[in-house]
Structure 1
């Protein structure tokens, strides 16, 4: 049984811990958002590199990356040493931390044309 001097202590403890719990939840959600976006842009870079290796024109390569990762990304492609190289950049806005820039790269060997 609670004594008169302890009444309301549970409310005070919750009031003290609530901001910490809210920050923890925001960070967990933010880490999930960053992880999901990184997977999405890596898949976009890989698919775009495969398209580039097949000889698809650059507009379709960029379109493939945008179709997979969304319109908010930046895509660049290049050729070198028999490989097609694609870089996809994206940003994720996190509460308390601001925007985090993400980068994904993929290479694919160019197919030989007969």
Structure 2
């Protein structure tokens, strides 16, 4: 047996690093999903604000938010100082991070 023989060393190194690479890729995927949900929630808030600016009824405003963010999100609309503010919140379950809340908000001037 030759002590300077390095055959198989790259296989052993790969086997040691494989779990870390798998966790890193899983975390990267989870963060991508979280970013996608954040964008959906922000788009829902913006769409609801646009509907309010058009003078639509509350049912139309809410259906616009539900279409983009889903039924499991929470929606609130408040009016103060000539502005209407829309807040959308959604809980996202990320396997490695747990439960994360994403929020989106938009404001529109009432005429």
TM-score range, shorter chain: 0.7 to 0.9
Residue 109 of structure 2 corresponds to: 109
Distance 1:71 1:19 in 2: 36
Deviations 1:7-42 (A, max 9, x none): 432232111101110111011111111111111111
Residue 90 of structure 2 corresponds to: 90
Moved more, 99-108 or 10-19: 10-19
Residue 57 of structure 1 corresponds to: 57
Residue 79 of structure 2 corresponds to: 79
What is the deviation of 1:43?
Answer: 0.8
Distance 2:79 2:87 in 1: 12
Moved more, 45-54 or 101-110: 45-54
Give the match's secondary structure for 2:14: helix
2:49 matches 1:37: no
Q: For structure 2, list consecutive stretches of 5 or more residues without a partner in the other structure.
A: none
Q: TM-score normalized by structure 2?
A: 0.87
What is the deviation of 1:108?
Answer: 0.4
Count of aligned positions:
110
For the aligned residue pairs, the C-alpha RMSD in angstroms reads 1.8
Q: TM-score normalized by structure 1?
A: 0.85
Q: For structure 1, list consecutive stretches of 5 or more residues without a partner in the other structure.
A: none
Give the match's secondary structure for 1:44: helix
